[in-house]
Chains A and B, each alone.
Chain A
Amino acid sequence: MTAGNGTVQWLHDRYADMRRIRRFEDITYTLFRRGTLDGTAHMAAGQEAVAVGARAALGADDYVFSTYRCHHHVIAAGAPMDRCFAELLQRRTGLCGGKGGSMHLTSVEHGVMGSYAIVGSQLPIACGAAWSAHIRGTGGVAVAFFGDGATNIGAFHEALNLAAVWRLPAVFVCENNLYAEFTAIATSINVEHPAYDRAPAYGMPAAIVDGNDVEAVHEAVATAVGRARDGDGPTLLEAKTYRRYGHSRIDPADYRPDEEEETWFARDPLTVTRRRLDELGVEASRVDETDERVGREVDEALETAMQAPEPEVGDAFADVYAEGGAGWRS
């Protein structure tokens, strides 16, 4: 039996990546409950396998575009967690200097070209990065993540059509967590699969993937990325997954039936991967050690971020324009 790209260690590493994100999100939720975090946050706990599996299929020339539910993509890309926490805490050392906040985590040096909080807006932009990679001949691929709710907005349809007709090296990954904010996606579409069922209209290859299985996600994304790199155009993937928390902040997600939650929580991506590691002969104690190690890392990152300074008032006037400032008049 093989795992992921062929080694047990690979899968164990992906488990660690997912555990790191889970710990980050659990702490984020706690900080909200305590009133330590201002603004908002959209926890991605439960959806880690999509981000981690996809990321493992990408290289240095590839681009990732995310949504307001972005923590998992940025952490999976390798952005320093203390700077992620610092951004949520709106500190000066945050990835975006505290000016982006939880919904706009960006780390260009890790290929994360922004997190976009207007639903669906990142899809056309990802097309542009793919188009640019094609024109510049870099071999790069742009991956756009989006939620099931985004499949009903115009930008989604315009982007899919453009990518298909221009045969762009792009991969569109829908994280279908069954809810568009507080509304079941099933009540706002007349097809079964919000993303997958739309792909034929654009002549785009598509697949449904188990979004709680990191190996399955990795394989599907790797296939799509390979097709894009070969010049065969874009692919749409619909990853079925489920969020552990509500839509944002401390939303208790009362609108979700108990049985549905039980079914999905039993298939939590960490549980699935632990079981798989067990099947592959990895001792439970070794996985426990990973949990502890990663937990310590995340806790230390939080501690660093909590010590970080607030932004300075002058920062509010920086970077409006490329000259560095906010000069709208001469």
Chain B
Amino acid sequence: MAELSYRYAVAEGLAREMRRDPAVVVLGEDVAAAGGVWKTTQGLLDEFGPERVWDTPISEQAIVGAAIGAAMTGLRPIAEIMYADFLGVCWDQIANQAAKLRYMTAGQLTVPLVIRTIHGGGVAKGAQHSQSPENWALAVPGLRVACPSTPADVVGLLAGAVRADDPVVVFEHKGLLGSKGEVPDDEHVLELGRAAVRRRGTDLTIVALSATVRLALEAAAELEGQDVSAEVIDLRTLVPLDAGCVLESFKRTSRLLIVEENPRQGGWGAQIAALVAEEAFWYLDAPITRVAGESVPLPAARGLENAVLPSADQVTETALKLART
């Protein structure tokens, strides 16, 4: 075990897959010579050379399109889209092409493609560099969606994504880049669709993802001091969704709190709420509750941004109210 930053874990995870499989190639804006604007591809060009690590023009459609074409012809490309907001520029390639080619061709085409991007607010960069649009990807059958919350999960989920034969969108979180954690030295592969129970509890279930896992864990520690035992589930992937893990936990606690950074309006938490309402309604002891990003574009001013993004305090207060309902 070595302690790595989340940021370094990305480069390490990519390098491990590139060492293992010569078909893995990396492309994106500034990913080669510059090592990525987030320094998440640092060292790859030196180790693997310019035939495996490619700087592209600022052309998101060309980046994802080229990755799709390479994926269907024998490579396993990893495309970087610098900010998740920029998925909007190449959404046709992702949602209409990558997601649907296998289906439309009755399995003749396979697109083993990874699209890495970075999401998340809290950086005072305004509405076009701060979003958490994982709910966009969640809404498209044919895509898989992974959102690692720890350095170990970064390595494990990247390995799982690269080895999957489907297009996978991996969201890394800006707010987590500097966080540290133990990463196994040996091969570490996480199968997509397996949630992690980060904390055991009995009074309520908190379902979180990516950076909101940290909020949920902070809140759970606070709640313990107030005699409330919260279970914290890190979904890790939205597709496949580990419905079994959520339902099993909820049936024990009978109270559900969902913590999501994407907007409440159409956010992934609504999917979890629907799942529980449809399949475990009779276990409910209190209304399903969501702490979510507000349904507004993200403002640049820190004070405003903080007011519309979920916080640990908000999770704690909401959880207390829920536990006492």
A: residues with CB less than 8 A from B are: 63, 65, 95-97, 99-100, 104, 106-108, 113-114, 116, 118, 121, 123-133, 135-136, 142, 154-155, 158-159, 161-162, 165-166, 315, 318-322, 324, 326-330
Contact = CB atoms under 8 A, between A and B. Distances in A.
B51 A124 contact: no
Contacts of B25: 135
B240 interface: yes
A121 B93 contact: yes
Q: Which of under 10, 10 to 19, 20 to 34, or 35 or more describes the interface residues of B? A: 35 or more
B67 interface: yes
Given A319-B102, A328-B240, A127 B51 contact: no
B88 interface: no
Interface string B34-70: 0000000000000000010010110101101111111
Nearest to A117: B96
B240 A327 contact: yes
B280 to A, nearest CB: 14
Given A136-B74, A329-B240, A128 B66 contact: yes
Contacts of B194: 330
B166 interface: yes
A121 B92 contact: yes
Given A108-B109, A127-B69, 18 more contacts: A99-B103, A124-B64, A125-B69, A128-B68, A129-B69, A129-B70, A129-B72, A132-B74, A132-B75, A161-B57, A165-B57, A166-B54, A321-B102, A321-B142, A322-B110, A328-B241, A329-B241, A329-B243
A231 B244 CA distance: 53
A131 B141 contact: no
Contacts of A135: 25, 51, 70, 75
B144 to A, nearest CB: 8
Interface string B151-195: 000000000000011100000000000000000000000000110
Contacts of B165: 322
B61 A154 contact: yes
B62 A159 contact: yes
B109 A114 contact: yes
B48 to A, nearest CB: 12
A127 B104 contact: no
Nearest to A63: B73
A132 B57 contact: no
Most buried by A among B69, B74, B165, B242: B69
Most buried by B among A118, A158, A324: A158
Interface string B86-110: 0000001100110001111111111
17 contacts: A97-B106, A106-B105, A114-B105, A118-B96, A124-B68, A125-B65, A125-B66, A128-B65, A132-B70, A155-B92, A161-B59, A162-B57, A162-B62, A319-B106, A321-B144, A329-B239, A330-B240
A128 B241 contact: no
Closest 10 CB pairs of A and B: A128-B69, A124-B65, A322-B165, A97-B106, A128-B66, A158-B62, A158-B59, A129-B69, A132-B70, A125-B69
A136 B75 contact: yes
Contacts of A129: 69-70, 72-73
A128 B73 contact: yes
B233 to A, nearest CB: 14
Contacts of A322: 102, 110, 112, 164-166
A330 B73 contact: no
A122 B198 CA distance: 43
B176 to A, nearest CB: 24
B66 A131 contact: yes
A96 B106 contact: yes
A242 to B, nearest CB: 29
Contact of B97 (A97, A125, A326): A125
Nearest to A100: B104
A116 B96 CA distance: 9
B282 to A, nearest CB: 20
Nearest to A87: B106
Nearest to A109: B108
B93 A96 contact: no
B290 to A, nearest CB: 19
A97 B102 CA distance: 12
A67 B234 CA distance: 42
Nearest to B73: A132
A182 B72 CA distance: 33
Nearest to A104: B104
B62 A127 contact: yes
B207 to A, nearest CB: 14
B71 interface: yes
B166 A321 contact: yes
A125 B92 contact: no
Interface in B229-276: 239-244, 275
Given A96-B105, A330-B242, A123 B73 contact: no
A119 to B, nearest CB: 10
B65 A320 contact: no
